[in-house]
Structure 1
Amino acid sequence: MRVAVVTVGDELLAGDTENTNATWLCEQLTERGVRVERVTTVPDRLADIARVVNEYNAEYDAVLVTGGLGPTHDDLTMDAVAAAFGRGVAEHPDVVAWFDDHDGYSGTDLAEGTTHLPTGSRMLPNEEGVAPGCVVDSVYVLPGVPSEMKAMFDQVADEFAGEQTYTATVTTSEPESTLLDRMRGVQAEFDVQLGSYPGENVRLKVTATDPETAKSAAAWLRERVDLVEE
């Protein structure tokens, strides 16, 4: 399963808010064996959101969009997702019913636009806030508030599944440029993917489809590099 993540918000692009939603979603999806192949941040601009959603919906098995939900002037995500599919937005009866049945809200008393979703979408209730999310085709629209986004993702998490993978990490004090022979060697010896992440030290991450291969590949590397205690 190949997935793209789209985060919406001028505050993300300005650096006013850290994009923790993207990191958290990537972790959750990877743990489920899903391949996240794109993470894109777009401004609160309808045309930009619609264009990216349209493009990624055609290319990937699923698209997760976070942010820009609600009735305020810069909450444009629902309209943009609807536009990406050539649909309109309208009051969704499931949203109205959910508010009538929960937390003392009345679906008819909420701010204008709160109960509107793209036509033909599946409503996702917001257990931690107000603005609902939805699913349109294979596009999942979630809130930007992290607590709300996480709770809503939990409702659909079982819809994301892929081949289980296993990882092991080896940390070395050697410069990345001197490790090329060992990096080529472990990939020739074992059926693994290898990531190399330099910093104060270099972290080598091996990924395999079974735990023993990941473990054996990491052991092979540990015998051949200058280790840093992990």
Structure 2
Amino acid sequence: MDVALLTVGDEVLAGDTVNTNASWLAAELAARGATVPRILTVPDDRGVIAEWVARFRADYDAVVVTGGIGGTPDDVTLEAVAEGLDREYVVFPDVREGLVAKAEAFREENPDLAESYEFDLDFDAAARLPEGARPLVTDAGWAAGCAVDGVYVFPGIPDEMKAAFALVADEFDGDTVSETLYTPTPEGAMGDTLAEVRERFDTEVGSYPAGRGTPNRLKVVGDDPDEVARTVAWLEDNVETVPEPE
């Protein structure tokens, strides 16, 4: 299962926010056997988001979009997804009802804040999703994400994103398996060995240099667990390995 990740946010592109969502999602998807061939960050621009949703949906099995949903003017992701999938952008009555209940509960639990601030919430706008979508509603945050036509839209706030992903995690799977080895051997000294292992086995072997004093990583990835095991065994016979650092 090939999954493209699309993260949305001017603040990510400006360097104001670290894109931890993409790395967390990539790791979670890989752990389920899925492959992430593309990760792209785009601005809070409806046309740009719609364009990439449409392109990724045509090229990959699924698309995960994070960021840009909520109640502020720059939260255009859900409308852009609807545009990219050529769907109407409509109010979901059940989602609206849930948002009203959340607002009422907040007022009751925070009377001082409710008196200090004027709550002028546009529930219709906040309850809009692409037509035919499956709402992804959690207690972790305000805005609802959704799943529609192989596109999964999550909030950008990490805790809210993780809660939304938990609702659909079982829908991402694949046959990819991986094993990681650690070696003190410099990457430059392993060129011939890495070339040979790629010729011998039907696997992908990535070499990832680490900082000074930290072992480098060799990651073996493939669709056949036995082939991955054979690759690992060959590497252990031909490259010095050490235990995983704590």
When normalised by structure 2's length, the TM-score is 0.83
Count residues with an aligned counterpart.
Answer: 227
SS in 1 for 2:126: coil
Q: Using the TM superposition, give the Cα deviation of residue 135 of structure 1 relative to its aligned residue in structure 2, in angstroms.
A: 1.4
Q: Does 1:182 align with 2:182?
A: no
SS in 2 for 1:96: helix
1:72 maps to a residue whose letter is T
Aligned residue in 2 for 1:24 = 24
SS in 1 for 2:235: helix
SS in 2 for 1:223: helix
Structure having the higher helix fraction is 2
**Structure 1 residues 74-124: Cα deviation after superposition (integer angstroms, max 9, x where no partner):** 101011111112233221022024345668459xx8434111112221111
Aligned residue in 1 for 2:111 = none
Higher mean C-alpha deviation, range 121-130 or range 217-226: 217-226
Q: Is the 8 A contact 1:99 1:105 kept in 2?
A: no
Distance 1:127 1:164 in 2: 32
Q: Does 1:83 align with 2:83?
A: yes
2:161 maps to a residue whose letter is M
Distance 2:182 2:233 in 1: 9
Aligned residue in 1 for 2:206 = 195
SS in 2 for 1:157: helix
Q: Does 1:132 align with 2:139?
A: no
**Identity over the aligned pairs, expressed in percent?**
46
**Structure 1 residues 34-72: Cα deviation after superposition (integer angstroms, max 9, x where no partner):** 111110000011111111101111111110000000121
- Which blocks of at least 5 consecutive residues in structure 2 are unaligned? 107-119
**Structure 1 residues 7-44: Cα deviation after superposition (integer angstroms, max 9, x where no partner):** 00001001101100000110111111111111000001
Matches for 1:145-164 after TM superposition, within 5 Å: 145-164=157-176
Aligned residue in 2 for 1:170 = 182
Distance 2:159 2:147 in 1: 19
Aligned residue in 2 for 1:58 = 58
1:37 maps to a residue whose letter is P
Q: Is the 8 A contact 1:94 1:123 kept in 2?
A: no
Distance 1:131 1:123 in 2: 10
Q: Is the 8 A contact 2:96 2:126 kept in 1?
A: no
Higher mean C-alpha deviation, range 201-210 or range 96-105: 96-105
CA-based RMSD of the aligned residues comes to 2.3
Q: Is the 8 A contact 2:182 2:243 kept in 1?
A: no
SS in 2 for 1:188: helix
Distance 1:5 1:154 in 2: 16
Distance 1:187 1:101 in 2: 57
